Amino acid sequence: MTDLTAGELDKSTVEKAYDRWAPVYDLVFGAVFDRGRQAAIEAAERIGGRILEVGVGTGISLSDYSGKHKICGVDISEGMLMKAQERVAELKLKHVEGLWVMDAEHLNFPDASFDVVMAQYVITTVPNPEATLTEFSRVLKPGGEIILCSRVGAEAGLRRTLEKWFAPAARKLGWRTEFSFERYTNWAKATPGMRLVERRAMPPLGHFSLIRFGKVADGSAGSQGQTGASASPQTPLRRAAG
């Protein structure tokens, strides 16, 4: 049985938590999550094209892209995106197409808009992870990939016990500590056209994994999520020149 109700979050809690994290996020989490970020970017750039980074946060990863591809970034936290906007302007990151305040579960993009949808350390922080993944599949082009760097909960042992113990405090910070890999695989099985491509342990201590899902060219996964989205997103917080 999967832990579908364990450690559930609400949108307001997540938004407030990450607005609070915005001033210190890079300092606290920059080095800790760097290996996972680099692995996710490398996987995304192997596909290339138009890349959507969901939960782009302060834009800490934006300068790590090669510049050969177009990067769009969305985040629920306006405070985080203001930091990202400053980074894009300061570093003159012309490969950044735009930054938008947007809910990951309700992306205001048309179906099949992106070659890659990337989410780093996001899925276990959203209120409805499976619905969010389905929304990712909607905006993903056939032949593209969803690339996650995400927490995977322990199945047993001391780490599992500690995760359960810490869960109530973690929710107040906008996180889940308990999130089984079965939730990812069950979602893929239930979503037409989506298949698991890779799972690879990432530091620190293997608590996180690089997870890749591919959308088959003749799949119907794009019809599973929100439909009727407008042809262009809402006015971006900042649109990069060029």
Contact 221, 193 (CB under 8 A): yes
Least confident of 13-27, 60-74, 150-164, 224-238: 224-238
**Over residues 105-126, mean pLDDT:** 94
Among residues 182, 200, 211, the alpha carbon closest in space to that of 121 is found at: 211
3-state secondary structure of 224: coil
**37-60 pLDDT, tens digit each:** 899 999 999 999 999 999 998 999
pLDDT digits (tens, 9 = 90+) for 139-186: 999 999 999 998 875 554 544 545 454 445 445 444 555 678 899 999
- The whole-angstrom separation of Cα 162 and Cα 165 is 5
**What whole-number percentage of the chain has pLDDT above 90?**
51
Ranges of H-type helices in 77-227:
78-91, 129-139, 157-172, 181-190
Query: Which of 55-59, 69-73, 93-97, 204-208 shows the lowest mean pLDDT across its residues?
Result: 204-208
- Span 20-49, average pLDDT: 74
pLDDT tens, 186-227? 999 999 999 999 999 987 666 789 999 999 986 444 434 333
Nearest to 150 by CA among 198, 217, 222: 198
For residues 126 and 104, give the distance between their C-alpha atoms in angstroms, rounded to a whole number.
Answer: 8
CATH homologous superfamily, domain 11-172: Vaccinia Virus protein VP39 (3.40.50.150)
Q: Residue 34: pLDDT above 70?
A: yes
Peptide bond into 192 cis (omega under 30): no
Asked if pLDDT for residue 24 goes beyond 60, the answer is no
Bridge-partner residues for 209, per DSSP? 150, 201
Q: Tally the C-alpha atoms within 13 A of residue 77's C-alpha that lie toward its C-beta.
A: 26
- Is the pLDDT assigned to residue 15 strictly greater than 60? no
The pLDDT of 67-74, averaged and rounded, is 96
